[in-house]
Structure 1
Amino acid sequence: MDMEQRKAWNEEHKRLTEIISKPHEHIRAIELFLTHHAWLYSSKMTHGNSPTFEDAVLEHLDEQALRRYPVNAPDTKNSIVWHLWHISRIEDMTMNILVADGQQVLYSDHWLQKMNIEFSHSGNSMSDSDVAKLSAGIDISALLEYRMAVGKQTREIISSLPSGEFRQKVQADRIKRLFDEHVLLHEASDIGEYWSKKTIAGLVLMPATRHHFLHLHKCMRIKNKIQKQMTKRR
């Protein structure tokens, strides 16, 4: 995804924001969401032919670069694999708990064991030592498989929502589940409060779309900086 494509994505996201809460635009909103969402994941998820934002981030990146922590970036010091894990966890918990009131993908197929990590929370307010541990130990292939499983499940959830559902507020008992299932650290409890004030549309417009966009953009900046450093050393 080059600069022009990212600009186009932003413009279309504005369009999605305008129509998502209008019941008569329900089908169009879902179609637009699916297109937006696909650009944020590997092209393998939808068997697309055009490179996506995730494809662009991962292209020509070796394992050392993916795991590097801390990184010297203006707005983050976390590794690329941490960002990919974090946005996947946020989408998993918001779509499957807050929207669908179902089971998280994380627990559907032993993903914690497959990814070789112990962290089931979102990563918000995570300690430096835990970020370092995750960055060094996570199984990258399993992470990307988990990420794709989350994306596919989200697409099924959103595609099945009835007209008018985007306008519904997040239910309090589902916010409670976030804490009952320990998906938010106590230090990050304000995020649960923030989500409690959202509609389903609000969750779609941020955790399921723009949140990915922002973090993938950070990943791209990290990648570019690492590659520049490597070029200077040659």
Structure 2
Amino acid sequence: MNKEWSEKNKKMQFLIKKEASFKEGIDVLLELRDELFSEITSIVDSYPAEAFSEMPFAKADGYHSKTLIYSMWHIFRIEDIVAHTIISNDEQILFTDGLLERTKSPIITTGNELKGDEIAAFSKELDVRAVYEYCLAVKDSTDGILKDLEYNDLKRKFTDDDRKRVSDSRSVSTDEDAVWLIDYWCSKDVSGLIRMPFSRHWIMHIEAMGRIKNKLGKR
């Protein structure tokens, strides 16, 4: 894991544990998210659309076995669902401003259920710039939620009603490789969701995007 990102993530987690340093911890988190998102922006601005559906590590085990555009979709679908359907109980960003139609996505799920050739085929259908705009909109929305959090919100837990709401949204596939996410998220408190998916999940997948980018080389 990138040492600088890892250290900043650890610092954030330490700071949010105490009420006196909670807001400073959120500031560190927002700074980390800005740094990570700048990596995505750099890739989007540097590579042609066709590069985003290539799978240079297709036979590998790990997050780098996906495509660039799948990684973007996956990171921010998860964040959108967690931030809006679970925490805020409001409308997901994907269903606003025509974003679903603009991305040209054939699915509204996280993509966990897709494998190999399915990931490649899915990736080719997506509009790279529209997916990037979706990612940015989700990031900005979540940043606003994070800024509004108070220390006492960290221990807020979730219920069976929250689980049902996610299930009813059909944003998570019923495939065994995806459906576990609902219990995983809803078993955490807000503090746990800050770690996964609002920080560490980003780091893991954006590092993988870096590996894919480096393998693809300059275009």
Alignment TM-score > 0.5, same fold: yes
**Amino acid paired to 2:27:** E
Deviation string for 1:197-227 (max 9, x for gaps)?
Answer: 2111111112111111111111111111122
Aligned partner of 1:87 in structure 2 is 75
Helix, strand or coil at the partner of 2:199? helix
Q: Distance in 2 between matches of 1:192 and 1:148?
A: 24
Q: Distance in 2 between matches of 1:151 and 1:192?
A: 21
| Match among 208, 214, 217 for residue 224 of structure 1 | 214
TM-score by length of 1: 0.84
Aligned partner of 1:131 in structure 2 is 119
**Amino acid paired to 2:179:** S
The offset of 1:26, in angstroms, is 2.2
Q: Distance in 1 between matches of 2:21 and 2:158?
A: 21
For structure 1, the 5+ residue unaligned runs are 42-51
The offset of 1:74, in angstroms, is 4.7
Kept in 1, the 8 Å contact 2:56–2:212? The answer is no
The offset of 1:170, in angstroms, is 2.7
Q: Does 1:35 align with 2:21?
A: no
RMSD, aligned α-carbons: 2.1
For structure 2, the 5+ residue unaligned runs are none
Moved more, 171-180 or 214-223: 171-180
Aligned partner of 1:68 in structure 2 is 54
Q: Distance in 2 between matches of 1:77 and 1:28?
A: 36
Moved more, 197-206 or 56-65: 56-65
Kept in 2, the 8 Å contact 1:21–1:167? The answer is no
Aligned partner of 1:179 in structure 2 is 167
**Amino acid paired to 2:53:** R
Q: Distance in 2 between matches of 1:112 and 1:129?
A: 22
Aligned partner of 2:181 in structure 1 is 191
Q: Does 1:148 align with 2:136?
A: yes
Moved more, 52-61 or 203-212: 52-61
Report sequence identity in percent: 27
Helix, strand or coil at the partner of 1:185? coil
Aligned partner of 1:45 in structure 2 is none
Aligned partner of 1:46 in structure 2 is none
The offset of 1:130, in angstroms, is 3.8
Kept in 2, the 8 Å contact 1:95–1:154? The answer is yes
Kept in 2, the 8 Å contact 1:89–1:121? The answer is yes
The offset of 1:129, in angstroms, is 4.9
Deviation string for 1:91-150 (max 9, x for gaps)?
Answer: 111111222111110111221101111210111122445423321111111011001000
Paired residues, number: 215
